[in-house]
Amino acid sequence: MSHIHLPDGVLPVSWWLLAYVAAFIWLYLALRQAESEKVRRKLPFLAAMSTLMLLTMSVPLGPLPVHLNLTVLTGIIVGPWLGFVAVFVVNIMLSLLGHGGLTAVGMNTLVTGLEVVLGWWLYHHLFKTWRLSWRSLGATGMALLLTSALALSLISLSTGVISLWHAHSHEELGVEQAAALGNSFQFLGLSGVMALVFILACGLVTEAIATWGIVSYLQKVRPELLMEELEP
């Protein structure tokens, strides 16, 4: 789900308002960290990563309904605080272009921002002893797995999909109708939950490999970008 930008009208009002409040609190904390002149000089990095994310998030990958996010790479390059600012900016820009709703900017930013922070932490702390490119592969894969699971649960709860599924498959609907409900979402011959899991898995693997490939290149050309901590 981290690769699916929620459009307007999908989330209940209370959920997207709450997500906005949480995102603004996080943004306020991030900006407090970024007040110093040292971080102000990192504005070009921030803008470059935002533009790169804007480009990659706008290009669907062939027949798959996913796109590259490069959120973990952004976290690695600019750090967790400025990385959150970058994803907020990208989500605003994308929502103005109809990709992800304006009311869902809070929720979309929280999910992608969590990817930034988790990816940064895994890269710089948990996998510290690994080679740089493998670190990025592991950090991206694990960060996306965790955030996708969390986002899927949150969104299913907020939209009532889980309760609808549960209630109808046990009580009001018969077995055939419940099966039809589960199989109503089809993609590439797969149905129901399997199709959604397949799409998410494709997004996760593609993102992890892409981050690994880009980091392998950066390691040869500008290794200091991957080592330097840009936070104050």
Strands (E), 81-177: none
Partners of 162 in the beta sheet? none
Contact 11, 107 (CB under 8 A): yes
Number of residues that bind another protein (CB under 8 A): 68
Alpha-carbon distance of 17 to 163, in angstroms, equals 22
- Count how many residues are written for the chain: 232
Cβ proximity to another protein, 102 vs 126, nearer residue: 102
DSSP 187: E
Interface stretch with another protein, choices 5-13, 109-117, 125-133, 134-142 (CB under 8 A): 5-13
Query: Which tokens belong to 75?
Result: 């976290």
Stretch that binds another protein, among 23-31, 113-121, 122-130, 134-142 (CB under 8 A): 23-31
159 interacts with another protein by CB under 8 A = yes
Is 154 a residue that touches another protein (CB under 8 A)? no
| C-alpha span between 228 and 39 (Å, rounded) | 13
Helix, strand, or coil (residue 165):
helix
**Could you say whether residue 190 binds another protein (CB under 8 A)?**
no
Widest CA span in the chain: 64
168 contributes a contact to another protein by CB under 8 A: yes
Site string for another protein, 50-69 (x = CB under 8 A): xxx-xxx-xx-----x----
User: Segment 95-114, which members bind another protein (CB under 8 A)?
Assistant: 95-103
Contact status: 144 vs another protein (CB under 8 A): no
Asked if 104 and 6 touch (Cβ cutoff 8 Å), the reply is: yes
Summarize as ranges the residues that interact with another protein (CB under 8 A): 4-10, 13, 27-28, 31, 34, 40, 43-52, 54-56, 58-59, 65, 85-86, 88-90, 92-93, 95-103, 159, 161, 164-165, 168, 173, 177, 180-181, 184-185, 196, 209-210, 213-218, 221-222, 225
